[in-house]
Amino acid sequence: MESLKLGSKGLLVKILQSYLKVLQPNVIKNISDTFDATTKTAVENFQRSAGLKVDGEVGDKTWETLIKRFEPIWNQTDSEFQEILKQINTAKDNANIAISDVNKAITGATENLEKINNAVKSIDDAKNTSVKTIDYAKDDAVELINAAKDRVIQDVEDSRDNAIEKVNESKQNVIKDIDAAEDKGVKGVNGARDSAVQKVNLATENKIQEINSAKDTAVAKVKEEVEPVLNRVVEAQTTILEARKTAQIQAYRAKASASLIKAKESARGASIKLAEATNIYNQIKGLRNAVESLVKQAGESAAKASSKLSAEKAKASDEAAKQAIEQDKLAKQELETAETNFTIIGNEVKNTETAVQDVENQEKESQKLTELDTLKSSVDNISEKEEEAKAAYGRINEPLEKLKLIPNKIEEIKQEVDKLAKAAESGLDVPKIPTPVENPNFKNIWELFDKNTNTTSIGEKKKKELPPDETNWDEFEDFFDLKIKEIKGSA
């Protein structure tokens, strides 16, 4: 495509300005056919944003990048644009017909020039023939004079000298007349030739002027027909691009609004879970306080037992108080775990709220933006913040589930401490607290079985199966038996 720079004019400049006006409406206010300083500024802005060499000139690379920039919104052809293209093609056909007529006129002029050249040649031939004819006439005249001379000599012997003088005089006159006639004939021929050449040259010049005039008229007519259509193309293109730009802007803004709604939904969900976590955490603190109160009660009972109860019961009471203290340590650990998880939940809720605030601020700002690149960048940032809010909301689930397990654990501790407090008060035997046993690691058992058993025949999919995570030995035993039957059945 033609390179454009400061001072360039024509239709391509209009097309360039129509593109730049859509991208930079604050820079390009009007479209003209002149590449002015404003157009150069817009070109430099575009080159800078596209990472191109900033020189203010529109070469092949700038054209290519500029056209590609409009691919997101220039993805279909409107019927009106098709009609305009049809008119352009019609004007183009008319132009081709006019140019064909001009070419025919030029061909006719060439033929006329050839005829004129033939006429000049004929004139030259006629001149040569005339000169030869005069020479022949001169020779015949000389012969006649000589014959007359002989006759005069014969007839006028007495007046020989006079006759000879007269004959010589007549001879000289005839020769002069012949020479004059020759000169006149040559001059006439030359004059005719010059006149003919002048007429030919004049006719040629006139014909060339007619051809040039016809050509200029045809070109002017084509330009007159095509220029309005091309102007309509530029206007239609500008209108379409601006309409599609408006639609794209609306789509970006709608996306930003949707992201804000989703982010707020994540924040709302986070707030609900925070409220749930707060209730659970308050419940845990209440249980912990109850455990602490029972432990204190057990200690007080053990302190009184030495004076009120027998030595054996006082010893049992003291042991119960000690075990209550150990249980209280477990309750304290659970409370610390609850505090950690509750803090994590609170932080994630704050992260959600921060992300929502960022989305809200950027969404308001996006409603004011009109530059597509800037708006797209803003919407992309909004989408990232919306994802951050969603992720923060999702990260609440794990600590919340852990928090939900703690009230039951502390409740069990509270029940045990309650028994210990009663035992400390009465001096009765200290209730036995079951020792927690780790769940059997069925996975390790299955891996050992799988390692020492040829299970290739049952297929890779079944070979990779692992038993369920349940801690019920009966269920695992059923699963184990099932696998053994599968292996035997495939053997």
- CA 76 → CA 72, 82, 178, 237, 242, distances in Å? 10, 11, 92, 12, 14
Residue 486 has pLDDT above 50, yes or no: yes
- Which one has a higher pLDDT value, 281 or 236? 281
Q: Say which range, 175-189, 254-268, 303-317, has the weakest mean pLDDT.
A: 175-189
pLDDT score recorded for residue 372: 85
Model pLDDT for residues 67-96, shown as the tens digit of each residue: 888 876 665 455 655 665 576 577 667 757
Question: CA-CA distance, 419 to 461, in Å (whole number)?
Answer: 52
pLDDT score recorded for residue 397: 96
Question: CA-CA distance, 48 to 250, in Å (whole number)?
Answer: 26
> How confident is residue 371, by pLDDT bands cut at 50, 70 and 90?
confident
Query: What secondary structure letter does DSSP report for 491?
Result: -
Question: CA-CA distance, 85 to 232, in Å (whole number)?
Answer: 10
pLDDT score recorded for residue 459: 47
* Cβ atoms within 10 Å of 4's Cβ, excluding its own: 23
* Cβ atoms within 10 Å of 209's Cβ, excluding its own: 10
Residue 429 has pLDDT above 70, yes or no: no
Residues 6+ positions from 241 with CB-CB distance below 8 Å = 18, 19, 22, 70, 73, 74
Q: Which helix (H) or strand (E) holds 373?
A: helix 372-395
Q: What is the mean pLDDT of the chain?
A: 78
pLDDT score recorded for residue 131: 52
- CA 445 → CA 221, 440, 449, 471, 478, distances in Å? 95, 9, 6, 13, 14
Residue 98 has pLDDT above 50, yes or no: yes
Here the tokens at position 242 are 């601006």
For residue 58, the cross-strand partners are: 4
Q: Pick from 287, 307, 291: which is nearest to 419 by CA?
A: 291
Question: CA-CA distance, 61 to 40, in Å (whole number)?
Answer: 16
Contact 188, 122 (CB under 8 A): no
For residue 4, the cross-strand partners are: 58
Q: What value does the mean pLDDT take over residues 338-357?
A: 95
pLDDT score recorded for residue 464: 45
Residue 298 has pLDDT above 60, yes or no: yes
* Cβ atoms within 10 Å of 391's Cβ, excluding its own: 14
Residue 435 has pLDDT above 50, yes or no: no
> How confident is residue 445, by pLDDT bands cut at 50, 70 and 90?
low
Contact 291, 414 (CB under 8 A): yes
> How confident is residue 415, by pLDDT bands cut at 50, 70 and 90?
very high
Contact 433, 320 (CB under 8 A): no
Q: Pick from 448, 441, 449, 450: which is nearest to 471 by CA?
A: 441
Question: CA-CA distance, 282 to 405, in Å (whole number)?
Answer: 14
Name the one residue in this structure whose structure tokens are 């809720």. Answer: 349
Positive or negative torsion for Cα 25, 27, 30, 35: negative
> How confident is residue 214, by pLDDT bands cut at 50, 70 and 90?
confident
> How confident is residue 152, by pLDDT bands cut at 50, 70 and 90?
very low
- Which one has a higher pLDDT value, 230 or 110? 110
> How confident is residue 133, by pLDDT bands cut at 50, 70 and 90?
low
Query: What secondary structure letter does DSSP report for 10?
Result: S
pLDDT score recorded for residue 461: 45
416-422: long-range contacts (C-beta < 8 A, 24 or more apart)? 416/327, 417/291, 417/294, 417/295, 417/298, 417/324, 417/327, 417/328, 417/331, 418/294, 420/294, 420/298, 420/320, 420/321, 420/323, 420/324, 420/327, 421/294, 421/295, 421/297, 421/298, 421/301, 421/320, 421/324
Angle at which helices 60-69 and 11-23 cross, to 10°: 50
Model pLDDT for residues 183-212, shown as the tens digit of each residue: 665 565 466 567 755 765 786 677 678 767
Whole-model pTM: value is 0.49
Residue 318 has pLDDT above 80, yes or no: yes
pLDDT score recorded for residue 87: 67
> How confident is residue 62, by pLDDT bands cut at 50, 70 and 90?
very high
Model pLDDT for residues 379-404, shown as the tens digit of each residue: 999 999 999 999 999 999 999 999 99
Residues 6+ positions from 351 with CB-CB distance below 8 Å = 388, 389, 392
Residues 6+ positions from 189 with CB-CB distance below 8 Å = 123, 126, 127, 130, 131
- Which one has a higher pLDDT value, 425 or 160? 425
Q: Say which range, 12-26, 34-48, 104-118, 359-373, has the weakest mean pLDDT.
A: 104-118
Contact 28, 39 (CB under 8 A): yes
Residue 34 has pLDDT above 90, yes or no: yes
Residue 300 has pLDDT above 50, yes or no: yes
- Which one has a higher pLDDT value, 233 or 152? 233
Diameter of the chain by CA atoms? 216
pLDDT score recorded for residue 480: 64
> How confident is residue 156, by pLDDT bands cut at 50, 70 and 90?
very low
> How confident is residue 328, by pLDDT bands cut at 50, 70 and 90?
very high
- Which one has a higher pLDDT value, 338 or 180? 338
Contact 297, 414 (CB under 8 A): no
Residue 489 has pLDDT above 90, yes or no: no
Q: What value does the mean pLDDT take over residues 268-291?
A: 95
Contact 301, 321 (CB under 8 A): yes
pLDDT score recorded for residue 458: 44
